[in-house]
Amino acid sequence: MKLKFDSNLDYQQDAIGAVTDLFEGLPPNPSDFEIILDTYEHMGTQQNELGTGNALIPSTTQLLKNLRIVQEPNTIPKSSSLIATDDPYSFPNFSVEMETGTGKTYVYLRSIFEMNRKYGFKKFIIVVPSVAIREGVLSTISLTREHFAGLYDNVPFDHFVYNSKDLSKVRQFAVSNQIQIMIINIQAFQRDVGEGKNYDELTEEEEKKLSIIHRKKDTMSGYRPVEFIKATNPIVIIDEPQSVDNTVKAKRAIKTLNPLFAMRYSATHINPYNLLYKLDPIQAYDMGLVKQIEVSSIRADDNFNDVFIRLDKIGYAGKSKTPHAKATIHEDTNNGAKEKKITLKQGTDVADQTNRPGYEGYIVTNICAEEGLEHVEFGNGVTLELNQEQGGMGDEILKSQIFQTVEEHFKKEKRYKDKGIKVLSLCSLSIGWQTTASTTKKATHKKENSRCGLKRHTTRCQGSHFTKVCCHILLKKFMTVISR
Whichever domain contains 74, its CATH number is 3.40.50.300
- In this prediction, residues 128-143 reach a mean pLDDT of 92
Residue 137 covered by a domain: yes
Residue 348 covered by a domain: yes
Instruction: Determine the structural domain holding residue 478 and report its residue range.
Output: 394-483
Q: Rounded to an integer, what distance in angstroms lies between the CA atom of residue 81 and that of residue 259?
A: 18
Residue 199 covered by a domain: yes
pLDDT category of residue 46 using cuts at 50, 70 and 90: low
Q: Where are the alpha helices (DSSP H) in 209-271?
A: 225-231, 241-244, 248-256
Contact 259, 121 (CB under 8 A): no
Q: Tell me, what amino acid is at 96? A: V
**Do residue 353 and residue 428 come from a single domain?**
no
Cα-based distances in Å from 80 to 69, 71, 92, 271:
12, 12, 13, 15
Q: What is the mean pLDDT of the chain?
A: 79
Give the lowest-confidence range in 80-89, 108-117, 400-409: 400-409
The CB density around residue 168, as the number of other CB atoms within 10 Å, is 10
Element (H, E) at 424: none
**Do residue 400 and residue 375 come from a single domain?**
no
Give the lowest-confidence range in 33-47, 83-97, 236-250: 33-47
> Residue 334: what pLDDT?
81
Give the pairing type, strands 389-390 and 383-385: unpaired
**Do residue 380 and residue 405 come from a single domain?**
no
**Do residue 401 and residue 377 come from a single domain?**
no
Residue 264 covered by a domain: yes
Choosing from 373, 390, 407, the residue where a domain stops is 390
Choosing from 347, 363, 390, the residue where a domain stops is 390
Residue 361 covered by a domain: yes
Question: Dihedral sign, CA of 379, 382, 383, 384?
Answer: negative
Nearest-Å Rg of the Cα atoms of the chain is: 26
**Do residue 195 and residue 96 come from a single domain?**
yes
**Do residue 217 and residue 365 come from a single domain?**
no
Q: Rounded to an integer, what distance in angstroms lies between the CA atom of residue 296 and that of residue 107?
A: 30
Q: Tell me, what amino acid is at 406? A: V
Enumerate residues 6+ apart whose C-beta is below 8 A from 259: 91, 125, 233, 234, 235, 236
Q: Tell me, what amino acid is at 92? A: P
Tens of pLDDT, residues 182-211 = 999 998 888 765 455 677 777 777 777 778
Residue 300 covered by a domain: no
**Do residue 385 and residue 408 come from a single domain?**
no
Given a cut of 80, whether residue 28 has pLDDT beyond it is no
Q: Rounded to an integer, what distance in angstroms lies between the CA atom of residue 116 and that of residue 465?
A: 49
- In this prediction, residues 331-342 reach a mean pLDDT of 85
**Do residue 386 and residue 468 come from a single domain?**
no
Contact 434, 441 (CB under 8 A): yes
Element (H, E) at 187: none
Residue 304 covered by a domain: no
Residue 293 covered by a domain: no
**Do residue 217 and residue 341 come from a single domain?**
no
Q: Where are the alpha helices (DSSP H) in 123-220?
A: 131-151, 168-175, 204-208
**Do residue 105 and residue 26 come from a single domain?**
yes
Choosing from 344, 375, 390, the residue where a domain stops is 390
**Do residue 399 and residue 385 come from a single domain?**
no
> Residue 35: what pLDDT?
30
pLDDT category of residue 452 using cuts at 50, 70 and 90: very low
**Do residue 274 and residue 327 come from a single domain?**
no
Tens of pLDDT, residues 67-100 = 999 999 888 999 999 998 888 999 999 999 998 8
Q: How far apart are the first and last CA of the chain?
A: 30
Domain tally for the chain? 3
> Residue 409: what pLDDT?
84
Enumerate residues 6+ apart whose C-beta is below 8 A from 32: none
